[in-house]
Amino acid sequence: MIEKPLTPEDVDFVTTLHGEERISFVVLLQPRGDQADVLLRAIDDVAMGELKEAVREGEEPEGSEAREPAEIGLEYSLRALRQAGSEAVGQVIEDHPLDRLTTVVEEAGADEVIVLTAPHYVEEFFHRDWASRARHKVGVPVLKLFAHSE
Three-state secondary-structure class, residue 28: strand
Three-state secondary-structure class, residue 42: helix
100-122 pLDDT, tens digit per residue, is 999 999 999 999 999 998 776 66
3-37 pLDDT, tens digit per residue, is 889 999 999 999 999 888 888 999 999 876 544 56
> Mean pLDDT throughout 78-103?
93
Residue-wise burial string across 58-74, b where 16 or more C-beta atoms lie within 10 A, e elsewhere = eeeeeeeebeebbeebb
Prediction pTM value: 0.78
Nearest to residue 92, comparing CAs of 8, 9, 28?
A: 28
